[in-house]
Amino acid sequence: MAWQLHYTSAEYGPGGRAGFQFVAESAGVPAGVSGAVAVHLAYRPPPEAPLAPDAAQISALPVALAYGPAGDMRVLTRCVYLGRDYSGRYGNFLGHAVVAAADELMGLRPVEFWRAALWTDAPATPGTVLPELTELTPGDHLDPDSLGEWLASGGEPGYARLAALLQIVGVALSRGHGRLVLVAADTGRAEEIVRWIGVISYSLPWPVAGRLTFLTYSADPATAQYVIVGTTPDVWIPSDTDATVVHLASPTPPALTPGRFAHTVTDCWRRMDMAGIDAIGELTVPDENPGGFSPDTAAALLAFCRGDPSVTAAEQGEIARTLPHGLPGWAWRELAGTCGRMGFELATAARAAAPDEVAEDFAARCAVLALRDPALPPPEPPRGETRQALAAEAAGVLASAPDAASLADVLRAAHAIAVPVPPGDVERAAHRAVQAGGDLAALLERTPPVLRESVVAGLLTGLEAASPRARRRMLTDQMCDHLEHRDLACAPRTGAAVLRALTLRGRVSRVDATTGLLRLLTAEASGDGYPLNDTAPPAVPEDVREAVESVLEEVWEEAPELEECSALLGRLGPGVSSSPCLCDLPARVYLACGMADPGVVRLAETVHARVPGYPAADARAVLLAAAVPDAPDPAAVASVLRNLDALTSEAHEDLIREALTVAAASLTTRAPRFRADVVVALPPALRTPLARAWLDGKLPRDEQVALAETAVRLHHAGVTVPSLDSWARSRLTAWSLHSSVESRLRRDEALTPSLREMSRGRRSPPWKREAP
């Protein structure tokens, strides 16, 4: 129920006085209402209006429709100019007021009462009891459709103006102070201003529109305390007025930048999306939405749901902070449809607050974002069917991981949210990570255990495909430690590089490294024995064999110890012959340790029995040299030396030379007769090397005497070894050596002529020399 009041200048009012006063009102108007309504009742024509207007001019003057509070009530007033009063003076007007409780206007915009049928242009007779209004019926002039058509007729400038006006009004309503003054020509009785107030009112949620006080026309806008005040261009407005003045005939000032609410609502008007405006209103009305979004946040939510790309991360964050208060069902459904554009903060908040029917949509988005940006905190794993649906997303993220660090992040994120990743995809991603470079050891350390095998498989294929230089660079100490106990037969190039690094660091013995390297050249391996053939299987690429051989040479650069070689032989057996480097190892031991060493002889016996090819020939040379001391007679020794010489084309050259030296040294313990018989039994080609072996180095006196006697015996036998014969002749000229040999040959007088012949030119002892 609403009450009416008429206010005008009358000669006799209900109180018996003359002048401006309430001349008629409804019965039962609450006490004090009249005083509260009076402040809304004032009218002065525009300054340029005629001082004595006729009826037509009066009808063209602006109508002043106002809306505002009247205590606990709401008041609508309509003031129209009447011209002369009862005394004939100009300045009279009718103020028609309607007072109603706030709930009487629920769902209505007060500006809708422009041109409502309840208004009158003539005051009632003083003392008249005006009827109470049981129903407030707005006019039909300011409906949204007609306002939308009017806005569209103004094109983009009109929409730009609306956005600016909404921003001004929104700030004023939110702050509780500030006003908007609209300046328009007085034609149409303030119709343009009313339309703008109408558009603004429909743009606001109706509870907010209920707080939008306005006055469609005032001759003194500087003192009119309404949020929106209309006026005409001829009215003076002080420059320091507490209001934003907008001249509707001029372009909107560019400084009036619209905010999110103003921008979104204007866009709704542009598309005549009144449902969108209503949706913003619903989101801001506490009765409809307990959370009560702010207008800007509600507008941002709607714009986001409508696909507006201008919604910022900060606005998404504000939406996220408001979501715990809840949303209407339709809003949850629309928001779920935008998951693909959500940031992590908004998706996480939505998942936590959403009803069950849409919560998994947000859970999936959280998972996707965590996969794409592993720096985000991992969300709780989504449900099983959602996780399965995310497998394709995980595969795509894996495929785009640019390097090892990024791949580790993706794998950790996928594991944390329990999204399945196919092993094949993981392997391919790890392979690409090798190509991109990076810390592969860190990748393995950060990879969840359940995915580590797939990562290793991919890394190995990537390392195999890399250049040797790049492979060695990426196989850091830490990476080699990770691969130390793995079977690298599937990646022989990488395996060789790993074993090289581990061996040079002392992590793996040379024997273990060698067996591991040879494993890379075999088709299969089992236990401690390796089924090695004389050569590597034909299927092994040549570059792999070269890589393995190169590492073997580097590993065995330092001469092997006797024990190492024995252990290697026990481990590999015939497999030693599969590598040129390994084939040379026994010979290097023989030369380093000396063939007289019993351990060396035992090693040679094993090599000779188990290893084919030239290692067996080298071993035979050692065994032949070792057999000389035990030979029963000169013929047997000669036979051994001939066999040794026969190995020259097969065995190591230095080894043959050393074996002959060892054999010659062992003969120095035999009598000169035995030695001479050995030389006689040898072919001429072997006599000289044997003699040279005897003559090398500094000879002790006993050996000199024995060699000289051997030479005499050879001369007597008619066998000449030039080097030995020459050496003996030069030494036998000395009286002392000659005397010793002569003494040794005293029992064999048949040799005396040979001694005499070889010692010709010998000087006499000092006591037999004649004095000069």
Tens digits of per-residue pLDDT, 366-425?
A: 888 888 888 888 888 888 778 888 888 888 888 888 899 999 999 998 888 888 888 999
Indicate whether 756 belongs to any domain.
yes
Average pLDDT over residues 268-291: 81
Tokens of 427: 């392997």
Distance CA 468, CA 452 (A): 24
- Residue pair 625/662 in contact (Cβ under 8 Å)? The answer is yes
Given 111, 130, 149, the domain boundary residue is 130
Given 70, 101, 130, the domain boundary residue is 130
pLDDT at 527 over 80: no
Average pLDDT over residues 153-178: 90
Indicate whether 55 belongs to any domain.
yes
Percentage of the chain exceeding pLDDT 70: 94
Indicate whether 368 belongs to any domain.
no
With cut-offs at 50, 70 and 90, classify the pLDDT of residue 578: confident
Given 108, 130, 152, the domain boundary residue is 130
| Pairing label, strands 129-130, 73-84 | unpaired
Average pLDDT over residues 121-145: 92
* Backbone dihedral region for residue 48 (phi beyond 0: left; psi -120 to 50: alpha; all else: beta): alpha
With cut-offs at 50, 70 and 90, classify the pLDDT of residue 277: very high
pLDDT at 704 over 90: yes
Nearest CA-CA partner of 618 in 582, 580, 581, 659: 659
Q: Is 372 exposed, middle or buried (0-12, 13-18, 19+ CB in 10 A)?
A: middle
Distance CA 709, CA 741 (A): 6
Three-state secondary structure readout of 338-381: CHHHCCHHHHHHHHHHCCHHHHHHHHHHHHHHHHHCCCCCCCCC
Across 475-492, b (16+ Cβ under 10 Å) vs e yields: beeebbbbbeeeebeebb
Note the pLDDT of residue 286.
Answer: 59
Average pLDDT over residues 249-256: 73
With cut-offs at 50, 70 and 90, classify the pLDDT of residue 106: confident
Query: Between vectors from CA 263 to CA 259 and to CA 266, what angle results, nearest 5°?
Result: 145
Note the pLDDT of residue 529.
Answer: 37
With cut-offs at 50, 70 and 90, classify the pLDDT of residue 10: very high
pLDDT higher at 523 or 634 = 634
Across 178-206, b (16+ Cβ under 10 Å) vs e yields: ebbbbbbebeebbbbbbbbbbbbbbbbbb
Nearest CA-CA partner of 603 in 568, 631, 636: 568
pLDDT digits (tens, 9 = 90+) for 32-79: 899 999 999 999 999 999 999 999 999 999 999 999 998 889 999 999
Nearest CA-CA partner of 41 in 224, 245, 243: 224
What backbone torsions phi and psi does residue 502 show, to the nearest 5 degrees? -65, -40
pLDDT at 16 over 90: no
With cut-offs at 50, 70 and 90, classify the pLDDT of residue 219: very high
pLDDT at 186 over 80: no
Indicate whether 20 belongs to any domain.
yes
Domain count, the chain: 3
Indicate whether 188 belongs to any domain.
no
Note the pLDDT of residue 63.
Answer: 94
Average pLDDT over residues 456-462: 94
Q: Which of 158-162, 419-423, 520-524 has the highest mean pLDDT?
A: 158-162
pLDDT at 562 over 60: yes
Indicate whether 388 belongs to any domain.
yes
Note the pLDDT of residue 465.
Answer: 92
Domain span at residue 429? 384-465
Nearest CA-CA partner of 62 in 234, 183, 231: 231
Average pLDDT over residues 254-269: 86
- Residue pair 563/573 in contact (Cβ under 8 Å)? The answer is no
Average pLDDT over all residues of the chain: 89
Indicate whether 83 belongs to any domain.
yes
Note the pLDDT of residue 499.
Answer: 94
* Backbone dihedral region for residue 554 (phi beyond 0: left; psi -120 to 50: alpha; all else: beta): alpha
Task: Note the pTM of the prediction, 2 decimals.
Answer: 0.65
Average pLDDT over residues 194-221: 93
With cut-offs at 50, 70 and 90, classify the pLDDT of residue 523: very low
- Residue pair 3/98 in contact (Cβ under 8 Å)? The answer is yes
With cut-offs at 50, 70 and 90, classify the pLDDT of residue 239: confident
Beta strands in 383-441 (DSSP E): none
Indicate whether 389 belongs to any domain.
yes
630-633: Cβ within 8 A, 24+ apart: 633/677
pLDDT at 448 over 90: yes
